[in-house]
Amino acid sequence: MPETTKVVPLTCHGHSRPVPHIHFSSIVNEDQFYIISACKDGNPMLRDGVTGDWIGTFLGHKGAVWQARLSSDASLAATASADFSAKVWDTHTGEALHTLTHAHIVRAVAFPSQPRPQILATGGMEKKLRIYDLSRGDSATSFEIGAGVHTGTIKSIVWTSDSNIIITAAEDKKIRWWDLRQQATIGEHAVEGVVGSCELDNTSSDGILSVAAGNSAYFFNSLSPGSLVKSIKTPYDLASVALHSGERRFVTGGSNQNDTWVRVWDFDEEKELETNKGHHGPIWSASFSPDGKLYATGSEDGTVKLWKFTQGPYGLWK
């Protein structure tokens, strides 16, 4: 186990409202990567993924931003907002390249894992999974997949390493696999409890999907529709979960004002190893960095925190 206990986390300030989602890019240069944070203040922020240093704020949304993602090469960002739109941004200039108008609040966005992607998936309170073609400049066109299948708000969308397979997590407590060629579901799994975070493990290529729901953490094989690797019941209500496959560890974030702890667990023995204090509100999002040497958390308290997960000096930890 990496000796990480009681290292003080780095705190990223700047947001004035809760942070419902954070997302890392892949490693872009030798050891460089980035993190984006969605915020209910409507101003998503781009930061250096190692140090947490602020790089820029994407200005233009007129409502809360529920989810934000970077393309794997960090050249583009996508944001989902309560202003009934999703936006695609150039991360170098901060310019909004596309504003995609919806009929209701947008909660989720996803890019396929490719450099400067020209396609985007969106979902939200319309309960519609939409796929946008961004290659046509301003007049991005979209089509809906699986009309009527989602019976609750789409809270998260994950594009798997297979560019034809997308996974959605919705408030109807279903995790669904979609094939873009068939434009239909190819598998689903029901979870117990309120669906929290739903994210791919970005520390490895084996494609494990981690879902927080109720007091359980669910781990799926993302490339095998509906295939549960294991679910782990905990004594806590979970808002977020993130897996580090290589270290066989996962972290969870509490979902209520009385549980603002970040916990580290042993994936195989299913036992709690560490409890880390620092946040002052529920932890809605958690993710390991692409190099696996730190993890980040985003909270109701308006901060993003970076927690060291490696031995010896790293980044700003000496």
Rg from Cα positions in the chain = 18
Per-residue pLDDT at 5 = 54
> Of 246, 227, 215, 238, which Cα lies nearest the Cα of 175?
227
CB 198 within 8 A of CB 210: yes
Q: Say how far apart CA 300 and CA 119 lie, in whole Å.
A: 30
State the chain's mean pLDDT as an integer: 95
When pLDDT is cut at 50, 70 and 90, the band that residue 203 belongs to is: confident
User: Beta 195-200 vs 184-190: how paired, if at all?
Assistant: unpaired
Q: Half-sphere exposure of 241 toward its Cβ, with a 13 Å CA cutoff?
A: 31
CB 172 within 8 A of CB 154: no
139 has pLDDT over 90: no
- CATH class in words for 14-308: mainly beta
Reported as a single tens digit per residue, the pLDDT across 145-185 is: 999 999 999 999 999 999 999 999 999 999 999 999 999 99
Q: What is the pTM of this model?
A: 0.96
User: Beta 283-288 vs 271-276: how paired, if at all?
Assistant: unpaired
Reported as a single tens digit per residue, the pLDDT across 235-288 is: 999 999 999 999 999 999 999 999 999 999 999 999 999 999 999 999 999 999
Q: Say how far apart CA 225 and CA 195 lie, in whole Å.
A: 18
When pLDDT is cut at 50, 70 and 90, the band that residue 205 belongs to is: confident
1 has pLDDT over 70: no
Per-residue pLDDT at 3 = 46
Q: What is the mean pLDDT of residues 213-233?
A: 97
Per-residue pLDDT at 179 = 97
Surface-to-core class of residue 231, CB atoms within 10 Å of its CB (0-12 exposed, 13-18 middle, 19+ buried): middle
Q: What is the mean pLDDT of residues 86-98?
A: 97
- Tokens read off for 295: 């993890």
- Tokens read off for 269: 């023995």
